[in-house]
Amino acid sequence: MAVHDVKPRPVVSKKDALVREMLERVADKWTLLVIDALEGKRDVRFSRLREAVGDVSQKMLTKTLRQLERDGLISRRVHAEVPPRVEYTLTPLGDSLGAAVCGMWKWVDAHVEDVERSRRKYDAPAQR
Amino acid sequence: MAVHDVKPRPVVSKKDALVREMLERVADKWTLLVIDALEGKRDVRFSRLREAVGDVSQKMLTKTLRQLERDGLISRRVHAEVPPRVEYTLTPLGDSLGAAVCGMWKWVDAHVEDVERSRRKYDAPAQR
DNA sequence: CAGCATCCGACATGATACTG
DNA sequence: CAGTATCATGTCGGATGCTG
């Protein structure tokens, strides 16, 4: 064994790392929008998805979809046709993640005002 | 009126933007760890916080704390002493956010295995 | 002690061009 | 149509040095 074993810091724990990783995932620019666009639907084509999500670049959409697929949150089905057709569907796991995110959504929904008021106050040009 | 009104894209909505923003916030490298470190405690000093969080740089910890303060999630109290003392405490709002994040936490807790299995499968060197 | 200013490299994102 | 490859750019985060 070599230098690899020297762990200068606890790194919290493996699971903690995954929690943060998943949080990062759902928080990144497109993931949530993609999940949202897939929720309740089946076999959505790449181009439809791109329209639904908004102005996502093709590159970023592809990347996002690959990550979601790797994590088992969506399924990707390629049809061997001559204009290629690829369809995406949320897996049950992905569906459940969508539900979990709902908690955050509700929190924001309930507290937008609080946050915005606090920000205005904080940003206020130091009066007097 | 003027050019301001030309919205080239729906941008989902103002609230949606805030939802993503809050998600980004809790997902960034340190926020969650800071909230975690503050949960259930009161008046935690900067240096204690830094120890608790781990190997966060002073710059990033400061930045994180400022954001949280601006959003009204933590309170910052400066004591006019000669070795400066600054103490941070979660506000009720911050506390409630911590609770909301729990949903995500639980989801990950419940599905780490699923995700990791999926990844192993995805990453598996195309057998055969 | 707590925080700010600066420099710098790593990475994420976007635009563009090309392909099965 | 649904990608992949390449290049340009912007931002993030870390390291360092200075200060009230």
**Most distant CA pair in chain A, distance:** 70
Mean pLDDT value of segment A99-118: 89
Amino acid at B34: V
A8–B55: do the CB atoms touch at under 8 Å? yes
Q: The domain spanning residue B22 has which CATH number?
A: 1.10.10.10
Number of folded domains that form chain B: 1
Domain membership flag for residue A113: no
Tell me if B77 sits within 8 A of B86, measured CB to CB: yes
Tell me if B87 sits within 8 A of B44, measured CB to CB: yes
- What domain range is B48 assigned to? 13-97
pLDDT at position A22 over 60? yes
Domain membership flag for residue B39: yes
Domain membership flag for residue A52: yes
Residue B87 zone, left/alpha/beta (φ > 0; ψ -120 to 50; rest): beta
At residue B43, φ and ψ (nearest 5 deg) are 50, 65
Report, in ranges, which bases of strand D sit under 7 Å from a protein C-beta: 1-6, 12-17, 20
Segment B24-48, tens digit of pLDDT: 887 777 888 899 899 999 999 999 9
Domain membership flag for residue A53: yes
- Protein B64 CA to nucleic acid C7 C1', in Å? 21
pTM for this model (two decimals): 0.82
Domain membership flag for residue B111: no
Domain membership flag for residue A56: yes
pLDDT of residue A8: 39
Segment B73-85, tens digit of pLDDT: 999 999 999 899 9
CB of A24 within 8 Å of a chain B CB? The answer is yes
Closest CA to A58 of A67, A68, A47: A47
Q: Is B125 exposed, middle or buried (0-12, 13-18, 19+ CB in 10 A)?
A: exposed
Domain membership flag for residue A120: no
